[in-house]
Amino acid sequence: MKRSPIYMKKWLDFNERTRIQPSDQWYLNFTIEILPIIQRSALFSQDEKSVQIEAALTAGIYFQDAIAQTGGWRIFADMYQSLYNRYLPFYHTTDEYVPDEINPEDIAFLLWEIKSHPVFLWNTDFSFYNPFDKKLLDLSKELYEIMDARFEEAPISQEPSSMIWAMGIDLLEIPSTPLPEVTANTRLTEDARRCLEYSKGEPLLYFDTYRKLCSFFVDVLGWENKPSAWMPELESSKNFVIYANAKGMLIAPDVAQYFCDAHNPAYNAEAAAKDGYRMFCQPGMCPFDLLKYGMHKGLLTDVRLPFDHGKELLQDNWDFIARYYLSEYYEGG
């Protein structure tokens, strides 16, 4: 007897259920049916079998949720639209997009998720796949056409899928807070007050070397004139940004080259275009308040994702990208 490539337990685990529902066998069969298509696809043919099975299960559970209009996909789609007033990240939908039916753009986004890993998921460097890569769009279209052909026979699941299979809803629940801007009534920390007095009200200060930063600590902020007081852990860094704001003073090393500001001697347009996007993807690389300030004030205009139309994609989707990749660092530490 031929072994099934995906067992019912795997399907139930993906749904976070233990009891079999009447529709489960139909959707499991559908998932098994599309697995060879995914394995042969240019997008997944070089991946491990576990990743190919994940992609098949993702497509199967999406089809289930789209038919039933419940479960993790519906929760994600509704929360995303409420938050961003659009249906999906990356893809500008047309009148042909129907939120309560299957859509190739939905499938494309879910395949993008499988290929794009935040640091916290794998304990390795993040990966950011091009959401408009031809291999991804071709497979999305093929899977959509298969679902469309089976749409009328697909059963309605009586029990919702897991709330979080499409995306952890906690990421979309994090509230976006206003910038910590200084007003006439703000009670500033002494460091922040001295920064703003020195800069004549400019919140950002830039230092291309650690030596210059240390001189500022002593001459302007009045810190002790001894190396142990000058944040020695930053000695091997350069290109510092100080952000003086209502919360206090934050210092970000190794990011000044990305901020296009007339007051910034360290700005490097080539570096911003090549690597600036990593600030949105690498937790801890740039404090989120500074990142948000840079976006709201138009200081990161040359930053782009590393593929065609990367600038427009980043500018249109930067908040979602930061949520997805930075996790608790989004509006956090």
| Beta-carbon contacts of residue 278 (< 8 Å; ≥ 6 apart) | 285
What value, to the nearest 5°, has the Cα angle with vertex 147 and ends 144 and 150?
155
Residue after which a domain boundary falls, among 148, 173, 198: 173
Q: What are the two backbone dihedrals, phi and then psi, of residue 324, each rounded to the nearest 5 degrees? A: -65, -45
| Beta-carbon contacts of residue 130 (< 8 Å; ≥ 6 apart) | 136, 305, 307, 308
Same domain, 23 and 99: yes
Same domain, 166 and 215: no
Same domain, 118 and 219: no
Q: How many domains does the chain have?
A: 2
Same domain, 238 and 294: yes
pLDDT tens for the 333 residues of the chain, in order: 567 899 999 999 999 999 999 999 999 999 999 999 999 999 999 999 999 999 999 999 999 999 999 999 999 999 999 999 999 999 999 999 999 999 999 999 999 999 999 997 556 789 999 999 999 999 999 999 999 999 999 999 999 999 999 998 889 999 999 999 999 899 999 999 999 999 999 999 999 999 999 999 999 999 999 989 899 999 999 999 999 999 999 999 999 999 999 999 999 999 999 999 999 999 999 999 999 999 999 999 999 999 999 999 999 999 999 999 999 999 975
Q: What pLDDT is stored for residue 168 in this prediction?
A: 87
CB 318 within 8 A of CB 295: yes
Same domain, 156 and 12: yes
Q: Tokens 């200081």 identify what position?
A: 299
CB 156 within 8 A of CB 68: yes
Amino acid at 143: L
Residue after which a domain boundary falls, among 173, 205, 224: 173
Same domain, 44 and 155: yes
**pLDDT tens digit sequence for 16-48:** 999 999 999 999 999 999 999 999 999 999 999
- Residue 166, domain member (yes or no): yes
Same domain, 158 and 209: no
Q: What pLDDT is stored for residue 122 in this prediction?
A: 54
Same domain, 93 and 135: yes
Q: What pLDDT is stored for residue 332 in this prediction?
A: 75
CB 300 within 8 A of CB 260: yes
- Residue 181, domain member (yes or no): no
- Residue 157, domain member (yes or no): yes
Residue after which a domain boundary falls, among 173, 199, 230: 173
How far apart (Å, rounded) are the C-alpha atoms in residues 33 and 211?
63
Q: What pLDDT is stored for residue 124 in this prediction?
A: 73
Same domain, 139 and 18: yes
C-alpha closest to that of 210 among 200, 201, 218, 202 = 218
**pLDDT tens digit sequence for 125-181:** 899 999 999 999 999 999 999 999 999 999 999 999 999 999 988 899 999 999 999
Same domain, 167 and 197: no
Q: What pLDDT is stored for residue 184 in this prediction?
A: 86
- Residue 20, domain member (yes or no): yes
- Residue 29, domain member (yes or no): yes
How far apart (Å, rounded) are the C-alpha atoms in residues 224 and 226?
6
Q: What pLDDT is stored for residue 2 in this prediction?
A: 65
Note down the domain range covering 20: 8-173
- Residue 180, domain member (yes or no): no
- Residue 178, domain member (yes or no): no
| Beta-carbon contacts of residue 149 (< 8 Å; ≥ 6 apart) | none
Tell me how long the chain is. 333
- Residue 199, domain member (yes or no): yes
Same domain, 116 and 205: no
Same domain, 154 and 275: no
